[in-house]
Structure 1
Amino acid sequence: MTTKHPADPAVLAELTRLRDSIDNIDAAVVHMLAERFKCTQQVGHLKAQHHLPPADPARESRQITRLRELAENAKLDPAFAEKFLTFIIAEVIRHHEQIADTTGGEESRTA
């Protein structure tokens, strides 16, 4: 059985400060992702209007390469950054497919 030691108040204060910073960063990440998805939704509508495919493998590859380089420069694991972007890209493509399915070319006739 382990004995609980009362935490040093200075340690608790530092822990709280760091956790507050993490919470603020998490909020910023969520807001940045929301802005990113607003832009990609506009891309999806533009693609649907002009009958372009939902996915662009060449761009996706360039973006992954770019993000891996940014991650390396930021001292972030590039493999993690790639997984993160790949997840986001998959969600964007899913949205683009939904837009194309629901639009059915209507926007190109009304635009």
Structure 2
Amino acid sequence: MEKTASAQELKEEGLRLFQEGLYEKAATKFGQAQEVFVAEKNEIEAAETVNNLGVIYRLQGKWDESIAALDEAKAAFARLGDRNREAQTLGNLGGLYASKRERDKAK
């Protein structure tokens, strides 16, 4: 039970850092949280942190890393049947392609 709280705390710290614009530090926290969520077999939260990493990479202009993370999160949400989070991730991918002026790839 304590590990779940720790993973959640890491995720929340990552969100706080993200909101402050401290993207590298936020990415580190999200990565740590994702590792714990995976170890705990909490697939939804693990995918959520990967989605968050994808957003950070997009803001940093790390297009390939962002696409890879968002595709991974999208696939996980689809497999887990979480249509709302899958749609959110698709929106993030669409925003990424719009930023790159590749609207034809936003699907």
TM-score, length basis structure 2: 0.30
Higher-RCO chain (CA-CA 8 Å, sequence separation at least 6): 1
CA radius of gyration, larger in: 1
TM-score, length basis structure 1: 0.29
